[in-house]
Amino acid sequence: MDHIRNFCIIAHIDHGKSTLADRLIQRCGAVDPREFRDQILDSMDLERERGITIKANTVSMPYTARDGRTYELNLIDTPGHVDFSHEVRRSLMSCEGALLIVDASQGVEAQTVANLYLAMELGLQVVPVINKIDLPSADVDRVMEEIDRDLGLDPFASIQVSAKLGTGIDDLLEAIVTQLPPPKGVPEEPLRALLFDAQYDPYRGALLLVRLFDGKLRAGTRVRFMHSGQEHKVEEVGWQRLKHIPVPELSAGEVGYVLAGIKSLSGLAIGDTLTEAERPAAEPVPGYREAKPVVFSSIYPMATDEYEDLTKALEKLKLNDAALIYEKDSSAALGFGFRCGFLGLLHLDVLQERLEREYDLSLILSAPSVRYRIVLADGSEVWVDNPTFYPDPGSIQESYEPYIKATIMTPERYLGTVMELCRERRGVETTFNYLAAGRMEVISQLPLAEVLFDFYDRLKSITQGYGSFDYELLDYRLADLVKVDILVNGEKVDALSQLVHREFARPRALRYCERLASTIPRQQFKIAIQGAIGGQIIARTTINAFRKDVTAKCYGGDISRKRKLLEKQKEGKKRMKMVGAVEIPQAAFVAVLKTEAPADEE
Amino acid sequence: MPPPSASRPGLYVHVPFCAQVCPYCDFSVLRGGAAARRRYVEHLLAEVPLAAADWSDPDPFDTVYFGGGTPSILPAAELARVLETCRRHLPLVDEPWTCLEANPEDVTPESCAEWRGLGVRMLSLGVQSFDDAALRFLERAHDSARARAAVETALAAGFATVSVDLIYGLPDQDEAAWRRQLEALVALAPDHVSCYQLTIHPRTRFGVAAARGKLRELPDERQAALFELTHRFLADAGWPSYEVSNFARGPEQRSRHNRKYWDHTPYLGLGPSAHSLAVATPTSARRFWNELRTPHWERRLAAGERPLEGEERLGPRELATEALMLGLRTAEGVDLDAFTQRYGFDLEASNAPLLVELQASGQLVLRDRRLVPTLSGLAVADGLAAAFTIPS
């Protein structure tokens, strides 16, 4: 076990985690140079494109150290965004150590701090890594000061690297071997293997990634999931290099994959503990907790015949995303779909993109909502995360909404605008602290609902990209809620209904109306778009009808061509949703629900 | 809608030659000297028996339409040979209603007399404009004086119907300028008028200019204004429209040939790019078309082959789609019951909210069980047709 090091990399978005992982893999020769492509761990297109790691991925690397011994380095990749802290937790639990990357010019960010605390809470040994030292703007001295003061870590234990150029990688590998502890665990004890990730392979079923804490695991063993109670016979175990390498046995301290002929995707809970059915462990690996969704949205297929495909796609994505929850939903305007719960807006965004790209689905998502607690006049209590089920206002005594504690880090020069943003979003008890020179930390208590609606984009915009943001849920507080409906030619589009704080109802409704007006193409007749609370219209826009589109000539040779054009047009309409006689393209729903960058940005 | 056998088929002959190719034209046209024209006629004569062998409709053709291009470029004797050959191989009524498209520069008392001798009843004049600047912009060979003279000559020659083609919606054309054109037209008092809004097709010189940003179609609002002006002005002057771009003094002056395209009456087309429709039953038809380019068309014929480029089968769905799309372009509109009876789709039942909306917004009226487009509806007839659902 002495030769094993299980570690992860903690970093803020864009601080170079994936590039660093690439260098480590390359240096260890875990991958043939011909097969090497940048950012190997970010296997999904989406991750490569956005430069963020969404799904934790993992890789084992053999490394011959300066002491002449060969070590098995298990790099457990962690996702890098605030929405994914549950995945971070699972990944961290599988490690004894962590590399904490700090950008040499940008310094310590809120995200980094949050994940560092998580790592410390779980007892991980942390090695600070200062990356991007090659940049002209790099300020290593300042960053070392921040590591000392803001993170409380020993700045002199930090390793300076440039992942891009490969500088310092050897020193870093040595630090992994010398500074991080080997795993503990007893191979003779009953099996305890933490399921920290799973992938779906269409040919082999579920591929489980596990970290063994105690015991041994080999093909033929009958295993039990300690939380779900499911039992399966192990078919194959092995190492997760860049390819899967079967081995006869995994032992305590090791990280590897398990195939157990699991065909059904549902019912697997990431974070569960595998044990031997014959000789079960007394306790599972601690720290398992269900990820709680805080953002809710309904997802509908654009074409109703894609409902089945959507069902299957969600089942598959659920396997790799323990935090995703969903149930059947239906809308008068959009037909059958699913009400889904997410950890945050990025989580929602990522799921949508994965469904569209990996499963080729065309989707409409309803306005994201938080979950409200509503006390009715008769004293009973209901939880509402879907405007459709908002009770009759007359029957409501009080409504409560979730509040968060937001921690925002920003350069000092943006302090005023950040405070102003918090105020705009109904932030209370907003305070600030000085961190290192020129850096501020703003703490504010905000309604989660106000953060859902383009808060992060606005923050990025007003701080020119320097602001970072993390949050935790606080409690529920009294809220003055109204339900805003959007009507198209008098018909309510239920998927666009929203629960909004009363003072924001009118501007929000107007913004929705305007966005719809700019994305619904002109049609045969004038279209009235209205925002309403109950029967009261609070916002209104119109789309004028088009006036002239008729083809001038239509004789023998023109008819087929014209009919085919018409058929194509009609085919395109299947991608439209009818509300009364009005055709609404998917783009309109997307535009309404999308956050909007202010005009001064890009 | 009458069953297809009630209407006799029409014969179309495409003459692809033009003295010069207009910058807006996307038809199959080419410039060709006398030798090329003679070669074309020989091939056309060869096509007739091949087409006839495949034409099983026993009803005689009661219209013949020489379109182009510029059919008036061909000597009358050549046209006569074509007609003769057609009569030899195809069933033709004794005096088919024959239409000839002519350019003003070809119209003289002598040529008119020759065409009358061939049995031409309708002469369709490609005037396009009575304004010299517009004619230069459209790169027409004639000037406005020649255009007026041609109309007067044709009217004096005793054709049953003299028709004038005009183009409107030129860039920068305002309502006053177009009204002057309409006034000039009305002063000449032809029997029939076709007013085509300028359409910029991609593979034309205008299309190229538009792609380079040097030419723009009029904005929607101004097109609509000109469209309405045209229809109102001509209706007031005694030429009500019977289709999007066609106006006639009375039902007798309407184009008997063109209406066959709009109600699925069979038609046979000869010459490059010509389209044909053979109707087997009310809900099954075959449309086929000739090679678009004259050299290809000739090569196929030289090899003794039928010069077809493609064909399609039309079932109830395709026919219904076309009937709706074409019907909504006409003053007669779509007869709901006849539509259901012929094609098996109940338009009314499957488009109830739409029908309410379209009537409320004044684009359609329901009159005598017919869906009739209003003037503003006619201006957006493409969108109207697209808005309807034909159930599956």
**For residue A348, pLDDT beyond 90:** no
How far apart CA A111 and CA A13 sit, in angstroms, is: 8
How far apart CA A146 and CA A435 sit, in angstroms, is: 8
Res. B140 pLDDT band, cuts 50 70 90 = very high
Say if CB A130 and CB A160 are below 8 A apart.
yes
Work out the average pLDDT over A160-184: 91
Q: Do A550 and B273 touch (CB under 8 A)?
A: no
pLDDT tens digit string along B253-272? 999 999 999 999 999 999 99
**Is the CB of residue A305 less than 8 Å away from at least one CB of chain B?**
no
Can you give the pLDDT at residue A235?
Answer: 94
Q: What is the ipTM of this complex?
A: 0.91
Using CA atoms, how far residue A175 sits from A24, A99, A292, in Å, is: 12, 10, 36
Choose the final residue of a domain: B260, B282, B308: B260
The domain of B86 spans 4-260
3-state SS string for B192-240 = EEEEEECCCCCCCHHHHHHHCCCCCCCCHHHHHHHHHHHHHHHHHHCCC
Q: In this structure, is residue B310 part of a structural domain? A: no
Most confident of A365-379, A581-595, B33-47: B33-47
Q: In this structure, is residue B266 part of a structural domain? A: no
Among the four given CATH numbers 3.65.10.10, 3.30.360.10, 3.30.420.40, 3.30.70.240, the one describing domain A372-479: 3.30.70.240
Number of neighbours of residue B27 by Cβ within 10 angstroms: 20
Residue of B66 and A42 predicted with greater confidence: B66
Choose the final residue of a domain: B225, B260, B295: B260
The domain spans of chain A are 4-179, 192-276, 295-365, 372-479, 482-593
pLDDT tens digit string along B16-57? 999 888 999 988 888 888 999 999 999 999 999 999 999 999
Same domain? B134 vs B256: yes
Q: How many residue pairs from chains A and B have C-beta atoms closer than 8 A?
A: 113
**For residue A93, pLDDT beyond 90:** no
pLDDT tens digit string along B320-337? 999 999 999 999 999 999
Q: Do B356 and A526 touch (CB under 8 A)?
A: no
Angle, CA of B385, B389 and B390, to the nearest 5°: 100
Q: In this structure, is residue B327 part of a structural domain? A: no
Can you give the pLDDT at residue A599?
Answer: 35
Res. A570 pLDDT band, cuts 50 70 90 = confident
How far apart CA A320 and CA A79 sit, in angstroms, is: 13
How far apart CA A459 and CA A465 sit, in angstroms, is: 8
Same domain? B235 vs B365: no
How far apart CA A476 and CA A372 sit, in angstroms, is: 8
Q: Do A547 and B196 touch (CB under 8 A)?
A: no
Residue B231 has, within 13 A of its CA and on its CB side, a CA count of 20
* Total count of domains within chain B: 2
Q: Do B258 and A555 touch (CB under 8 A)?
A: yes
Q: Do B360 and A525 touch (CB under 8 A)?
A: yes
Chain B residue with the nearest C-alpha to that of A581: B354
Among the four given CATH numbers 3.30.200.100, 1.10.260.30, 3.40.50.720, 3.30.70.870, the one describing domain A295-365: 3.30.70.870
How far apart CA B128 and CA B20 sit, in angstroms, is: 15
Same domain? B112 vs B224: yes
Q: In this structure, is residue B293 part of a structural domain? A: no
Name the CATH topology of A482-593.
Alpha-Beta Plaits (3.30.70)
CATH number of A192-276: 2.40.30.10
Same domain? B94 vs B196: yes
pLDDT tens digit string along B2-24? 333 358 999 999 999 998 889 99
Tell me the CATH architecture of domain A4-179: 3-Layer(aba) Sandwich (3.40)
Residue of A110 and B117 predicted with greater confidence: B117
pLDDT tens digit string along A107-164? 887 667 767 777 887 889 999 999 889 888 889 999 998 888 877 888 888 999 988 8
Interface test with A, best of B275, B374, B392 (most A CBs within 10 A): B275
Is the bond preceding B69 in cis, omega lying within 30 degrees of 0? yes
- How far apart are the CA of A516 and the nearest CA of chain B, in angstroms? 20
Residue in B227, B322, B363 closest to A524 by CB: B363
Burial B124-149 (b: 16+ CB within 10 A, else e): bbbbbbbbeebbebbebbbbbebbbb
Chain A residues within 8 A of B376 when measuring between CB atoms: 547
Q: Do A566 and B386 touch (CB under 8 A)?
A: yes
Same domain? B227 vs B136: yes
Say if CB A290 and CB A228 are below 8 A apart.
no
Q: In this structure, is residue B17 part of a structural domain? A: yes
As a whole number, the mean pLDDT across chain A is 83
Q: Do A556 and B275 touch (CB under 8 A)?
A: yes
Chain B residue with the nearest C-alpha to that of A576: B387
Instruction: Decide: helix, strand or coil at residue B320.
Output: helix
Chain B residues within 8 A of A556 when measuring between CB atoms: 12, 261, 267, 269, 274-277
pLDDT tens digit string along A475-534? 999 999 999 999 999 988 888 888 999 988 999 899 889 999 988 888 888 899 999 998
Choose the final residue of a domain: B232, B260, B288: B260
Same domain? B251 vs B340: no
Of A486, A515, A524, A500, residue with least CA distance to A595:
A515
Q: In this structure, is residue B191 part of a structural domain? A: yes
End-to-end Cα distance, chain A: 52
Q: Do A562 and B258 touch (CB under 8 A)?
A: no
- How far apart are the CA of A17 and the nearest CA of chain B, in angstroms? 47
Residue in A548, A557, A581 closest to B223 by CB: A548
pLDDT tens digit string along A445-484? 999 998 887 787 788 788 876 777 777 788 999 999 999 9
- How far apart are the CA of B197 and the nearest CA of chain A, in angstroms? 6
Residue B159 has, within 13 A of its CA and on its CB side, a CA count of 34
